Amino acid sequence: MIRIVTLSEFPPDVVDFVSRRLHAAYGMGSELEGEGEIPSSALDDEQSAYDAVKALEEMDDNVALYADDKILYLTSEPLTAPEGPMGRGPVDGYAQYGAGKAIATSHGLADKGVPLEVGLAKRAAHYVGHLWDLHHCYDPRCAMHPGWSPGFAAYPEVALCLFCREKSERKIKLGST
Amino acid sequence: MSTKTQDPVIGDGSLHVGDRVVYPNQGICRITGVELKQIAGQNWEVVTLSREEDGATVMVPKAKVMGIGLRKVADVAAIDRVFDELANPNTDPQLDWKVRHRENADRMTGGGLFGTVEVLKGLHALSRVRPLPPKERELYDNARHLLVGEIAAAMNIPLHVAEDNLDYALWPPEGMTRKGRPLPPATLGPPSPARASGLDDDLGFEDEELGGAAEAAPAAAAPATAEEAEDAEEEEEKPAPAPAAKKAAPEKEKPKPAHRPQAGSAKKAKPSHAPARKAAPARPAAKKPAAKHPARKAAPAKRPAAKVKGKAKGKR
């Protein structure tokens, strides 16, 4: 089951759309679990964005998770991530690979010219994919394609390519439940 | 029966119990010890490793540790050179699949960091020209998985940050620079022909149908093995620039059964997907494996020999 927790206010139809898209992409149940609050301690040094890694680690919620449950946090706040060898790049979410928690933001979607529900669903599918150990995909139409690439806006449908879909199905089948 | 040895010398002496190492094609492991094991009546001194990803135990005979390419996790300087290499956009994909397959297999079994980088970069460059065949798609994913794991281990950063950084180099976002040099922003690559879903389906049942049909299409069009299919493509396809590939919309799928079609349907479907493809040259009958089932004996005569071989191969 994919459990969605909103950390900002989203119209109900947007959350519903995201939930249905996740169900279509992964064949798993997906439902809105409730609302939460992004921890203020996760604000970065410049107080302009939330550190996604810290936010996930310090998130205080009462969501009951069973084996193989994945939890997805949705926010509209800007996110950042620790600096890597290439410096800082665009960050629209973060996922604990092969684990249970992911966060995706709707921040910056308006600049890309993608409708809120479609963009958010695509990002949500991307980060949930990382929870199933999926890597980035070169196919611009796949939800696992990097979000900063032109393919994100060019192909607004929320779906996985065949390779990613089969891989996620294998992983889901191997799950402990 | 096994006994543990204290403070053993492993390989050339550079490896110790507790070290994080890279096992070629397996990923990051930790050396947990050296044990004396009795296997088939013989005493073997084996190095035991625990794969970090899933905790699986790997045992390697101590004498073969250096031979299989076990090495320490790369240092930060080596990772820096990896990113220099990844951010260098000048890579021409190897278009000859035989050469590519041999080179990539050698690099992956060698287990070197830069070998994995070359595999990833080469296949990435190829994917910008056209979608990868299934085996190479898997190799691309494996190379990516190994590299992301090693970058994360070497730099002590989360896997997700490691992969994002890897792709900042391969698919540079707007304004990305590497050591002060601006990188050309990523352009739209060719989409894979077979895919699932549209926007108007809510529960993904259309996905399933499309996915099944799309999955069936390549299986039906494939003359035999992935290599042979690729070979045929190499002969006829010229690398097309990305916009042209985008314009060439995939053919509308014809109604097909949701399951993978049998050989008969594959034969029927072939002309619609590859009308321009040359007929595969007939292979000598002696090379064909003898069909065990009498009903299947007649079928091979109707279709090209390459197909028969591929089918038999698949069944093995």
Chain B nearest CA to A34, separation (Å):
22
Domain end: B22, B44, B72, which one?
Answer: B72
* Single-letter amino acid, residue B127: S
Under the banding of pLDDT at 50, 70 and 90, the label for residue B74 is very high
Question: How many angstroms from the chain centroid is the CA of residue A16?
Answer: 15
User: What ipTM, to 2 d.p.?
Assistant: 0.94
State the pLDDT at residue A71: 94
Confidence check: pLDDT of B244 > 80:
no
Q: Do B195 and A130 touch (CB under 8 A)?
A: no
Under the banding of pLDDT at 50, 70 and 90, the label for residue B248 is very low
Average pLDDT, chain B: 71
Average pLDDT over residues A51-63: 87
Q: Which of B69, B128, B124 is nearest to B100 (CA)?
A: B124
Residues B87, B165: Cα–Cα separation, whole Å: 10
**pLDDT above 90: percentage of residues in chain B:** 36
Average pLDDT over residues B224-251: 44
Alpha helix stretches (DSSP H) within A60-160: 109-112, 116-131, 151-154
Q: Do A85 and B189 touch (CB under 8 A)?
A: no
Higher pLDDT, B247 or B187: B187
Please name the residue of chain A whose CA is at the shortest distance from the CA of residue B205.
Answer: A24
Domain-located, residue B201: no
Chain A nearest CA to B199, separation (Å):
5
Pick from A94, A141, A165: which is nearest to B191 by CB?
A141
Q: Do B79 and A146 touch (CB under 8 A)?
A: no
B215 and B117 assigned to the same domain: no
Q: Which of B176, B195, B209 to mutate to test the interface with A (most CBs of A within 10 A)?
A: B195
B66 and B92 assigned to the same domain: no
Residues of A in contact with B204 (CB under 8 A): 23-25, 27
Pick from B178, B188, B195: which is nearest to A159 by CB?
B195
Higher pLDDT, B13 or B233: B13
Confidence check: pLDDT of A130 > 70:
yes
Domain-located, residue B128: yes
Evaluate whether A2 touches A121 at the Cβ level (below 8 Å): no
Q: Do A85 and B198 touch (CB under 8 A)?
A: no
Pick from B87, B124, B167: which is nearest to A146 by CB?
B167
Domain-located, residue B82: yes
Confidence check: pLDDT of B200 > 90:
no
Question: Rounded to 5 degrees, what angle do the CA atoms B288, B291, B292 make?
Answer: 150
Q: Comparing A98-102, A166-170, B295-299, which segment has the lowest mean pLDDT? A: B295-299
State the pLDDT at residue B169: 94
Average pLDDT over residues B2-15: 70
Please name the residue of chain A whose CA is at the shortest distance from the CA of residue B211.
Answer: A162
Under the banding of pLDDT at 50, 70 and 90, the label for residue A53 is very high
B80 and B176 assigned to the same domain: yes
B175 and B260 assigned to the same domain: no
Q: Taking the CB of residue B292, how many other CB atoms lie within 10 A of it?
A: 8
Domain-located, residue B113: yes
Q: Do B164 and A95 touch (CB under 8 A)?
A: no
State the pLDDT at residue B300: 43
State the pLDDT at residue A133: 92
State the pLDDT at residue B25: 84
Confidence check: pLDDT of A30 > 90:
yes
Chain B nearest CA to A55, separation (Å):
14
B55 and B30 assigned to the same domain: yes
Residues of A in contact with B171 (CB under 8 A): 146, 148-149
Q: Which of A171, A169, A172, A114 is nearest to A147 (CA)?
A: A114
Pairing of strands B2-5, B20-23: unpaired
Q: Do A149 and B171 touch (CB under 8 A)?
A: yes
Please name the residue of chain B whose CA is at the shortest distance from the CA of residue A151.
Answer: B188
Higher pLDDT, B305 or B135: B135
Domain-located, residue B67: yes
State the pLDDT at residue B194: 55
pLDDT tens-place string over residues B118-171: 999 999 999 988 899 999 999 999 999 999 999 999 999 999 999 999 999 999
Higher pLDDT, B50 or B313: B50
Confidence check: pLDDT of A16 > 90:
yes
State the pLDDT at residue B211: 40
pTM (two decimals)? 0.74
B150 and B214 assigned to the same domain: no
Confidence check: pLDDT of B291 > 90:
no
Q: Which of A138, A160, A162, A171 to mutate to test the interface with B (most CBs of B within 10 A)?
A: A138
B62 and B17 assigned to the same domain: yes
Confidence check: pLDDT of B78 > 90:
yes
What is the CATH number for B14? Answer: 2.40.10.170
Average pLDDT over residues A6-34: 94
Residues A3, A19: Cα–Cα separation, whole Å: 9
Evaluate whether B28 touches B73 at the Cβ level (below 8 Å): yes
Domain-located, residue B196: no
Confidence check: pLDDT of B93 > 80:
yes
Q: Do B144 and A135 touch (CB under 8 A)?
A: yes
Residues B72, B50: Cα–Cα separation, whole Å: 14
Please name the residue of chain A whose CA is at the shortest distance from the CA of residue B174.
Answer: A148
B47 and B116 assigned to the same domain: no
Q: Taking the CB of residue B294, how many other CB atoms lie within 10 A of it?
A: 7
Q: Comparing A64-78, A105-119, B254-268, which segment has the lowest mean pLDDT? A: B254-268
State the pLDDT at residue B284: 44
B218 and B130 assigned to the same domain: no
Q: Which of A20, A23, A86, A155 to mutate to test the interface with B (most CBs of B within 10 A)?
A: A86
Domain end: B182, B197, B226, which one?
Answer: B182
B146 and B87 assigned to the same domain: yes
Q: By residue range, what is the domain housing residue B214? A: 209-244+256-269
CB pairs under 8 A between A and B: 139
Domains delineated in chain A: 2-173 (3.40.390.10)
Residues of A in contact with B138 (CB under 8 A): 163
Higher pLDDT, A159 or B89: A159
State the pLDDT at residue A4: 95
Q: Do B196 and A27 touch (CB under 8 A)?
A: no
Pair of tokens at residue A116 = 């809120």
State the pLDDT at residue B262: 41
Chain A nearest CA to B204, separation (Å):
4
B86 and B177 assigned to the same domain: yes
Q: Do B197 and A97 touch (CB under 8 A)?
A: no
Domain count, chain B: 3
What is the CATH number for B177? Answer: 1.20.58.1290
B43 and B112 assigned to the same domain: no
Higher pLDDT, B302 or B104: B104
pLDDT tens-place string over residues B24-70: 888 999 999 999 999 889 999 999 999 998 889 999 998 888 888 88
Q: Do B165 and A149 touch (CB under 8 A)?
A: no
Pick from B174, B187, B199: which is nearest to A157 by CB?
B199
Under the banding of pLDDT at 50, 70 and 90, the label for residue B261 is very low
Domain-located, residue B277: no
Average pLDDT over residues A86-102: 92
> Three-state SS string across chain B, please?
CEEEECCCCECCCCECCCCEEEECCCEEEEEEEEEEEEECCEEEEEEEEEECCCCCEEEEEHHHCCCCCCEECCCHHHHHHHHHHHHCCCCCCCCCHHHHHHHHHHHHHHCCHHHHHHHHHHHHHHHCCCCCCHHHHHHHHHHHHHHHHHHHHHHCCCHHHHHHHHHHHHCCCCCCEECCEECCCCCCCCCCCCECCCCCCCCCHHHHHHHHHHHHHHHHHCCCCHHHHHHHHHHHCCCCCHHHHHHCCCCCCCCCCCCCCCHHHHHHHHHHHCCCCCCCCCCCHHHCCCCCCHHHHCHHHHCCHHHHHHHHHHHC
State the pLDDT at residue B136: 94
